[in-house]
Amino acid sequence: MSRQVVLWRHGRTAWNVAGRVQGQSDIPLDEVGLEQAREAAARLATLRPDRIVSSDLVRAAETARVLGEPTSTRVELDPRVRELNFGGREGLTWSEAWARFPDGMQAWVEGDETQIPGSETHREAGERFAAALRDLLADLPSDGILVVVAHGAVLRTGICAFLDIPEAHWSSFGGLGNCSWSVLEEARHGSSARWRLTEWNAGTLPEPVLSDDV
């Protein structure tokens, strides 16, 4: 069996429902989010993960612990897989952000993500996540399964950065639904190995994505 990484987005929060950008703001799951985590964990537990690593933000950590309990797997918190920092946009809806930062938002939609105060770019977040994932894989057994519980934007960009997908194509990958997951699998051919994406946004029927990552 090949090594696998399950990249799992946290359950729903009240800010997801309200359309407020969360980023690194520490917002807990709502009741629906907890139920989403329980339902997804019942399926993911059958994989018997060797290791569960979560963002230290509470919405991800709560989701991870729902999987850690039935699998008797300790949840490790790692700030390197936190969500992208949206700076001054955090806590704002899309329309509120445009009202407060009209020039910065115009620059953002045109591809310049540096004009919102305190914000991190998608490239910076993706490379941060990819570097953390490479480090976490260093001691994963040859048939091991790692579950990483994180957030929509950093998972999407981190997966693309890890797979060396050119940034111009990152926007071709759709947002991840609450408590949906993507899967990376290591393919070995003799002495060489490479990682490939085998599932994207799995676990639910197609439905609207409530995410900062739009």
pLDDT tens digit sequence for 167-176: 999 999 999 9
pTM over 0.95? The answer is no
The rounded distance, in Å, linking the Cα atoms of 144 and 126 is 23
For the 4-85+121-202 domain, the top CATH level (class) is alpha beta
83 is catalytic: yes
Answer for the pair 17, 30: CB distance below 8 angstroms, yes or no.
Answer: yes
Nearest to 60 by CA among 156, 123, 139, 147: 147
pLDDT in tens, 46-105: 999 999 999 999 999 999 999 999 999 999 999 999 999 999 999 999 999 999 999 999
Residues of the chain with CATH 3.40.50.1240: 4-85+121-202
Of 83, 90, 113, 186, the active-site residue reads 83
The catalytically annotated residue of 10, 113, 122, 186 is 10
Q: Are 107 and 87 in contact (CB under 8 A)?
A: no
Classify each residue of 71-95 as buried b or exposed e, where b means 16 or more C-beta atoms within 10 Å of its C-beta: bebebeebebbbbbbbbbbbbbeee
Residue 10 annotated to the active site? yes
Residues 6+ apart with CB under 8 A from 58: 26, 27, 28, 29
pLDDT tens digits, residue range 26-51?
999 999 999 999 999 999 999 999 99
The residues, any chain, with a CB within 8 Å of residue 133's CB and separated by 6 or more, are 5, 81, 148, 158, 162
The 3-state DSSP class for residue 151 equals coil
Measure the CA–CA gap between 146 and 53, rounded to whole angstroms.
Answer: 8
What's the pLDDT score for residue 193? 83
3-state DSSP assignment of residue 126:
helix
Q: How many helices (H) and strands (E) does the chain have?
A: 7, 6
Q: Does residue 87 sit in helix, strand or coil?
A: helix
